[in-house]
Chain A
Amino acid sequence: MVKVSGIAHYMNRSMTVLEASELEVIDCPSATSNELPDFTTEAYKDAYSRINAIVIEGEQEAHDNYVAIGTLLPDQAEELKKLARMEIKHMKGFTACGKNLGVVADMPFAKAFYDKLHGNFQEALAEGKLTTCFLIQAILIEAFAISAYHVYIRVADPFAKKITEGVVQDEYLHLNYGQEWLKANLDSCKKELIDANKANLPLIRSMLDQVAKDASTLHMDKEELMEEFMIAYQDSLTEIGLDNREIARMALAAVV
């Protein structure tokens, strides 16, 4: 007798003689769409008070950071101010999302959430380290924000969904100024970029860990958040001219 082990069941489809018997394919078409959470529960609102605050504070910090970078690049200050104004517009939109749900954003929590990253940015700014400033704001915070927005859009209440879609649209339409600067100056700034990444990428990872529970109450999956972040981060670094191996080495800082 020949013993043949295969996948759990036929899939009525070719290319599927599978050896590993521990594999189970779940045929689950109804579960392929994300179910929306109940936006009215206390648990949802409680989690939302922190997530909403993080988003509001993130947009405010982005505004402040771009204005601050303008002091290091006086001839670009006007351009950066325009960018900063857009971030304020986004902040107002997200503030409205909280109000719409009757939630008071927990701003002290959000301040503490960004504290380390904020500190590193201020330090770099004081030392005139433009590359580090851009890495923190234009790569890490932007990627963190856009990836979270992508995941959020899939599970947001209708009002917030519309606002967030508008924000994401804005982000894609405007030129990522920092990214362009890093691309133009890559030869001279690569080492600082890599060092700054090593110091700051782990912060993003721990920030994600910190909000994972609240995010999951909002039906935002941590694995999905992390993957979206890695996609945005990789896109950004590809855009400024790093190759796959360099990006892989940089991304390692998020794993260890």
Chain B
Amino acid sequence: MFGLIGHSTSFQDARRKAMELGYDHIAEGDLDVWCTAPPQLVEHVEVVSPLGKKIEGAYIDSCFVPEMLSRFKTARRKVLNAMELAQKKGINITALGGFTSIIFENFNLLQHKHVRNTTLEWERFTTGNTHTAWVICRQLEINAPLIGLDLSKARVAVVGATGDIGSAVCRWLSQRTGVAELLLVARQQQPLLDLQQELGGGRILGLEKALSEADIVVWVASMPKTLDINSSQIRRPCLMIDGGYPKNLDEKFSGSGVHVLKGGIVEFFEDIGWNMMELAEMENPKRQMFACFAEAMLLEFEDFHTNFSWGRNNITLEKMDFIGQASIKHGFSALSLNSQAQAKVA
């Protein structure tokens, strides 16, 4: 069985969804009540791959909402409790979606292996980052030509280049895709220098400068609190892949010639009988999902029960190959500008 740990995108949203699902006690509660709410296994689902292999899974809502980020003890408990529930339910491989894996890493939850009478088995969990990185690279390779960009001549800025996904994307682009130049953008200088050395190339730039030079921008980091971008300085055409969470770049960079694609999103080849992706505000919630969630499904399809994506900067090209091949084999495709446009029309 595979598992997905997710959460609502806002407190207001969470209350509305809880009301719809019949969880009256928390729907009517204030944020303090939500802080004391246990994780909920809200849905079981069955998924069949194009090859006919059937797997079962469950969606767990951790009852975390982004408004709890400032309460680190609460956020920590929400993540650990959801993970404990997943393990207690006997789920073999669970993806940590949304803020779950971010909290896990930033609040250093590796040191909290014991939750009540449960000893968490890390091999049952994956961040899903390998699949997310692979999907973002595929999205770049497939969609750039669609808007008339020649990858061999294109400059690609990776914003958040030194992160787990960002560094994997850089590795792939420099060794597999053959882009003209990589522009490396991140907050801290030393990891950037280390990455540059590892890649044997790439130019380190500030965000604004990089944006004015890039034909393609991959966003895999959060932005500074207030960021003024002179949109007239953005090159046209420009492909922006929004690998952040939640996806909100399209509101910022509208305008002719700037194509914003939701990054790290995959589409299954047929409808899945679940309701939970509506919570994640997917445009086609019966088929679309975060690539990190899909990674748990792929590992279950492959009977590969291990913490495939774990820790930071462990994503190798070989692992991306493995998960990418599994992704195609089991009926997933990366969201493209075309499918995004179709969804909007529909």
Chain A positions near chain B (C-beta within 8 angstroms): 1-21, 23-29, 31-33, 150, 168-169, 172, 221, 223-224, 226-227, 230-231, 234, 244-245, 248-249, 251-252, 254-255
Contact = CB atoms under 8 A, between A and B. Distances in A.
A226 to B, nearest CB: 4
Contacts of B40: 244
A254 B22 CA distance: 16
Contacts of A245: 21-23
Contacts of B22: 244-245, 248-249
Contact of B108 (A32, A150, A230, A254): A32
Nearest to A230: B38
A16 B69 contact: no
A69 to B, nearest CB: 26
Contacts of A9: 187, 222, 224-225
B219 interface: yes
A195 B40 CA distance: 24
Given A32-B111, A244-B40, A255-B29, 9 more contacts: A10-B160, A10-B224, A13-B165, A15-B220, A17-B245, A17-B246, A21-B226, A32-B109, A244-B23
Contacts of B163: 11-14
B228 A2 contact: yes
A198 B222 CA distance: 46
Closest 9 CB pairs of A and B: A17-B244, A6-B223, A14-B165, A15-B245, A252-B25, A16-B222, A226-B36, A14-B220, A4-B227
6 contacts: A10-B187, A17-B221, A20-B10, A20-B67, A227-B37, A255-B28
B25 A15 contact: no
A254 B23 CA distance: 13
Given A12-B221, A227-B38, A18 B25 contact: no
B121 interface: no
A227 B36 contact: yes
B194 to A, nearest CB: 13
A25 B71 CA distance: 9
B164 A14 contact: yes
Interface residues of B, number: 79
B319 to A, nearest CB: 16
B176 interface: no
B227 A5 contact: yes
B340 interface: no
B57 interface: no
A23 B245 CA distance: 13
Nearest to B41: A244
A252 B162 CA distance: 46
B72 A1 contact: no
A14 B244 contact: yes
Nearest to B115: A150
Contact of A14 (B33, B74, B243): B243
Contacts of B25: 248-249, 251-252, 254-255
B186 interface: yes
Interface string B253-272: 10000000000100000000
B76 interface: yes
Given A223-B74, A226-B36, A1 B228 contact: yes
A230 to B, nearest CB: 5
Contact of A2 (B73, B191, B225, B253): B253
B188 interface: yes
A3 B72 contact: no
Contact of B226 (A3, A12, A14, A18): A3
Contact of A18 (B105, B111, B246): B246
Residue among B72, B222, B264 with max Cβ neighbours from chain A (10 Å)? B222
Contacts of B229: 1-2, 4
B338 interface: no
Contacts of B26: 248, 255
B252 interface: yes
Interface in B96-113: 98-99, 101-102, 105-109, 111-112
